[in-house]
Structure 1
């Protein structure tokens, strides 16, 4: 894949769209989203699906896709803020006009279910999108780190030279670069590469997002491309065996084999519940694996430089990520750099 480019940065006074590719929100949250966009000095246009409900989605697939297509095609709209995540963005992929979107690059902001849009637009349209907080959470309530990270990426991306964690949250090195090439391939999975030699800094295109969404598109025309990329993964509310299933699906599809490095976010509320919880009916065994064990058994055998605890996604404070941008991870200094 060729190097992706940044769309034109937003400027104060720009008109931007509020779109709902996934789940709906109550009227109060929509009002908060409008205020959030105005807080950034932008003029919001509320697309019709933001006020629609179709089960657990904000309008029908046709309605939500039409809003996204219109938002990208309109010359008066400079960017698109996704109202929230939830469910439904993946259903829009066959309905989106990617040829038109490619010709009208604009900042797209969102995370979680919006991962489906990030990976497909990056892959098919060639420009950077932004994995960051969505306005229904009310930007006026964001902590300073989260708000400044969002504003920097949207308004001044050329000035961002490092993707930082909030103060007190250190990146953890799970697999540092090594010059040892005598280790065997990943057990049970052929073709796992050896650790790279030389410069410990690994550079690649940033791709990824929500683990469950990425696993859900495998085998489709919109599946993630990890070739020579830095693969970012995070999730929320998934039991360990579900995380194991999705990590394993990516392994079987060659996504860890193909990538240059791995950046793991936080996996919020992904612990096994107490087995004596009377409300729990989903226990499949008396024991569980921890997230650390799953990563060690499924991901680390590929011997790719791997960092953990990057604060982006389902927690606050969180960093806004430029999906598709060239980044470098330094497992020695525990830093994530942009050229």
Structure 2
């Protein structure tokens, strides 16, 4: 990890809204714990009016969640953080007022989340919204956890304060000297794939594509990566950076077939460098990344740096 080590004045408290655009918040106490922890960092935290709504597996029905998204966009808050992912934003994509969200980003609102939140982030790119959103922690998963990871917390705070300019990580050998520039985009692999062929697919060429996933067996990960490859997406990028792929159960049929097998196979197919080791995904330790920003990816030895 690379963070600034210079001393700086404490940032002015910023308004932060916790909202639920997708899956239901099963334990309201976890959301409230996240709010308290964020308040302890000096944020003026508000829970959106429908953050704890429930309808089937969702945080309220589609209308309720769409209204919440638009309400947060119009609120003028400095930070809009999703409480959790799950599933649900795909249902809203055809009805979102993208101009309203664009205005919120122009005014300085920083939208933050991961997992299902990838859907909204990529749709914003697809609809030509300028500015960046942030792939980073969420209320329940990160700030509502038993303990908040120090790297996750520090990286988020620096990103929100405008001080984070790069993240570093260790990757596999074989990429020494790599130096590319492009637009940073991606997120959850299943969500990325689900947008292919829709009006909400961002046609990024020459980008740096980062990917992660959870609860997906390696063969499913390979299938999704091959779909991106066969659609011409992988070859069109400057680099692909893989984060964590966690919480799957190996099968007795695997017989040596692993995530490493998947990566090796994908590398054999695309001319685009495929790096591993990005600290991002459904894991406690995650960096905060500016989706849509122009970045430079540099590798020296096994040390990789994404700077913006």
Where on the TM-score scale, by shorter chain, does this alignment land: which range? Answer: 0.7 to 0.9
- TM-aligned CA deviation for residue 286 of structure 1: 6.3
What are the residue-to-residue correspondences of 1:72-221 with 2, within 5 Å?
72-75=73-76, 77-105=77-105, 106-124=109-127, 125-137=129-141, 139=143, 141-156=147-162, 159-165=163-169, 170-173=170-173, 176=175, 200-221=178-199
SS at match of 1:117: helix
Q: 1:148 to 1:100 in 2, by over 3 A?
A: same
Q: CA deviation at 1:300?
A: 4.2
Alpha-carbon distance in 2 for matches of 1:88, 1:148: 29
Aligned with residue 220 of structure 2, among 232, 239, 242? 242
* Equivalent residue, structure 2, for 1:21: 21
Correspondence for 2:306: 337
Count how many residue pairs are aligned between Structure 1 and Structure 2: 291
Distance change in 2, residues 1:56/1:299 (3 Å):
farther
Q: Secondary structure at the match of 1:48?
A: coil
Tell me if structure 1 keeps the 8 A contact 2:208–2:238. yes
Counterpart contact for 2:207–2:239, Cα < 8 Å: yes
What is the deviation of 1:101?
1.4
More displaced 10-residue stretch of structure 1: 134-143 or 256-265: 134-143
Is the alpha carbon distance of 1:235 and 1:136 closer, same or farther for their aligned partners in structure 2, counting shifts above 3 Å?
same
Greater CA deviation, 104-113 or 134-143? 134-143
Cα displacement (A) at 1:322: 1.2
Structure 2 CA distance for partners of 1:337 and 1:248, relative to 1, 3 Å: closer
1:32–1:138 CA contact under 8 A, matched in 2: no
Looking at structure 2, the residues matched to 149 and 31 of structure 1 have their Cα atoms a distance apart, in angstroms, of 22
Q: Which 10-residue stretch deviates more, 208-217 or 297-306?
A: 297-306
Tell me whether 1:307 sits opposite 2:285 in the alignment.
no
Q: SS state of the match for residue 277, structure 2?
A: strand
Secondary structure at the aligned position of 1:163 is classed as strand
Using a 3 Å threshold, how does the CA distance of structure 1 residues 122 and 332 change in structure 2: closer, same or farther? Answer: same
Gaps of 5+ in 1: 1-10, 178-198, 276-284
Q: Are residue 252 (structure 1) and residue 256 (structure 2) matched? A: no
Counterparts of 1:63 and 1:102 in 2: how far apart (Å)? 20
> Kindly tell me: are residues 202 and 98 of structure 1, through their superposed partners in 2, closer, same or farther at Cα, counting changes over 3 Å?
same
SS in structure 2 of the partner of residue 104 of structure 1: helix
Distance in 1, matches of 2:150 and 2:20, equals 26
Q: Distance in 1 between matches of 2:222 and 2:57?
A: 26
Residues 160, 44 of structure 1: alpha-carbon distance in 2 compared, 3 angstrom cutoff: closer
The reply to whether residue 289 of structure 1 matches residue 292 of structure 2 is no
